[in-house]
Chain A
Amino acid sequence: MQALIQLSIANIRSFVRDRAALFWTFAFPLIFVVLFGLIFQGGNTSIKLGWVDLDGTSGPSGSTTLQSAFAAVKGVVITAEDEASAKDQMKTGKLDAIVEVPKGYSAAVTAAGTGATGVAAANVTVFVDPTQATTGGIVQQVVAGVLGAVNLGGRPPIVQAQLATIQTQNLNIISYLVPSILGMALMQLGVFAAIPLVADRQKMILKRLNATPLHRWQLVGSNVVMRLIIGIIQTLIIVAVGTALFGLQMTGSLLLLAGLVVLGGLAFISLGYVIASFAPTEDAANSMTSVVQFPLMFLSGTFFVIDQMPQPLQVVARFLPLTYLSDALRQVMVNGTAFSPLWFCFAVLVGWTAVCFGISARFFKWQ
């Protein structure tokens, strides 16, 4: 046990002192997150607000007055819509939020304005997408600002906002990309396990260790432990940056996420060991990891939605383990899916891990 711990520490030290490894493991995925975050969120400075007016009254307490108050806010673009088309447009991302003024609004405002007790405030409904945390937050601020002015600080308030949610379809690109990038990072972390292992064999480090009482399972175990620890750190960093900068909303179970990270890590570490079993030199291991990682990166739905790829590539994607890891990560992180619908993704990863460890146990040469 002591040997396993010491060897894991030694591996982590070697890893941390290797700047190239640090870059590929931590900076590279973050660059993707930040880059895509800026591309898909930047430039979108104005809030596109759909205005659904079911009251259609004018005058000081009328709904059109409230509409002008919203229109006067800087950075808000208002378009008047009917209810159905507004919701459709929000689902497809053309609108960021909807304000709906109910029938009888004007009468309710007038009644509330008397200040008589027992009279409820007039309501407006604000639809936001909970996964679009940044946009949703801005919308709520705008609404609060406008209604504050309308109410003039009066108590009880004359107009209140009710929040309602509309789930948009996959259009929160960051919510899609962060789990994908996490999957990609775990894939690279695992596959890259091949390179130091082959290098250690080439430098006869494995042989030297073999001349000590150290057992092979301790050697393999320490490698796996080190990579899984790094995988968990990667996950924390990627999720933290996604949340802090781009409003990623983690809704799923953390335990399920941790399980996926460990299982995904194992699946790709075992793939790395298969590479190490067949790569005679460090250079060969380097090119083999590239050959393996690029198709995984581009065909597993990391950057492109699989359903939109040409049919033959979709078939290929169905065979790639990263497809299942990324899919499960997305479901768990963004949609908060529980374990049971995801059993197939887990099964694929477990099976993949077992087959790869089997192949490497059979073909890996220690010297």
Chain B
Amino acid sequence: MVTDANLPAAAPKPPGDAAVRVVNVFKKYGPVKAVDGISFEVARGEVFGLLGPNGAGKTTTVEMLEGLRAPDSGLLEVLGIDVARNPDELKQRVGVTLQTAELYPKLKVVEVLDLFRSFYKRSLPTEQLIDFLDLGERRHAQTRQLSGGQRQRLAVALALVNDPEMIFLDEPTTGLDPAARRSLWDLIQKLQGQGKTILLTTHYMEEAEVLCDRLAILDHGRILALGSVDELVNKRFKDRSVRFDQIAALEDEQLIVLPGVKSIKHDDGVTVLYTHDVAGTIGGLLDATEVLGVEPANLGIRRPTLEDLFLDLTGRALRD
């Protein structure tokens, strides 16, 4: 198991400089430990990801930071504000999207935006929000008539109404088609370009790899690993993976003795060989298959991913 201790400590920062500080937070729902003692910091201007399967404690963590749930114990600080002590000030300064983006189905896009603007002391002009989120054509549509992607963009627009320094996005792309997902990724990168701090949760490895500067991998309410994507993946896997469609006649005993191979996994009809000698492994593999009179299909080499990391950390694949 990789834990915090195995990773190099981040450079120490002066207190109060972090956008988010979580220290030793616990939260139980009845007997279930939803969050089981987590600590992490998010630097200002950073995109930080909480990655994990459903039920890992991501949403509970985010909702505690948003002031929607109280922790059983531990300290939560956002933008230097103690969440437990000063929730009103916190809510003026952060933006939030929840997992479900359904909002006032019978109100029009501009009406919902104007409504939310009235909640804050400071707000951006509605037109600027509509332009930024590319909702111009749908401004007079009722929200129930929006597509999933448009609805999510409206949810992000509502999170931006008060021009917040800190934005929490809970599974922002779940349920979106690939094009809508890409456009939301662009948007998040644009927001980072404006200097906003973003904390997002996701169970998509690819999303975390594309968007996040750093991330924490959660499972069963605990942080399994914390660091930058490169740090996490390269520390854990200096190896590369060689993968091909599973060949029934090829026994694991034959594969493990191929040059460079350290371990083998079979996943959904694909065989994965982790190796420190890609050339040697592939050469050996081709020799072995030639003897059997077959050719490995879809043969490929891959740099290890978060997917591999998660599989390795938890023994379980990360799926929707």
Using a CB–CB cutoff of 8 Å, the interface residues on chain A facing chain B are 2-3, 5-7, 9-10, 13-14, 17-18, 203-205, 207-214, 367
Contact = CB atoms under 8 A, between A and B. Distances in A.
A207 B115 CA distance: 16
Contacts of A10: 104, 107, 111-112, 115
A211 B115 contact: no
Given A2-B118, A212-B116, A204 B100 contact: yes
Interface of B: 66-68, 88, 91-92, 96, 98-100, 102-107, 111-112, 114-116, 118-121, 142, 158
A22 to B, nearest CB: 12
Given A14-B107, A213-B92, 18 more contacts: A3-B118, A5-B118, A10-B107, A10-B112, A10-B115, A13-B106, A13-B111, A17-B142, A204-B99, A204-B102, A205-B104, A207-B68, A208-B158, A212-B91, A212-B96, A212-B119, A212-B120, A213-B120
A204 B92 contact: no
B90 to A, nearest CB: 9
A214 B88 CA distance: 9
Contacts of B115: 6-7, 9-10
A235 to B, nearest CB: 25
A9 to B, nearest CB: 8
Contact of A208 (B88, B103, B120, B121): B103
B114 A6 contact: yes
Contacts of A3: 118-119
B68 A210 contact: yes
Contacts of B107: 10, 13-14
Nearest to A7: B115
19 contacts: A5-B118, A6-B118, A7-B115, A10-B104, A10-B112, A13-B107, A14-B106, A17-B106, A17-B142, A18-B106, A203-B103, A204-B98, A204-B100, A205-B102, A205-B103, A212-B91, A213-B88, A213-B121, A367-B68
Lowest 10 A-B CB distances belong to which pairs?
A6-B118, A17-B106, A211-B96, A212-B119, A213-B91, A14-B106, A203-B102, A204-B100, A2-B118, A3-B118
Contacts of A212: 91, 96, 116, 119-120
Contacts of A213: 88, 91-92, 119-121
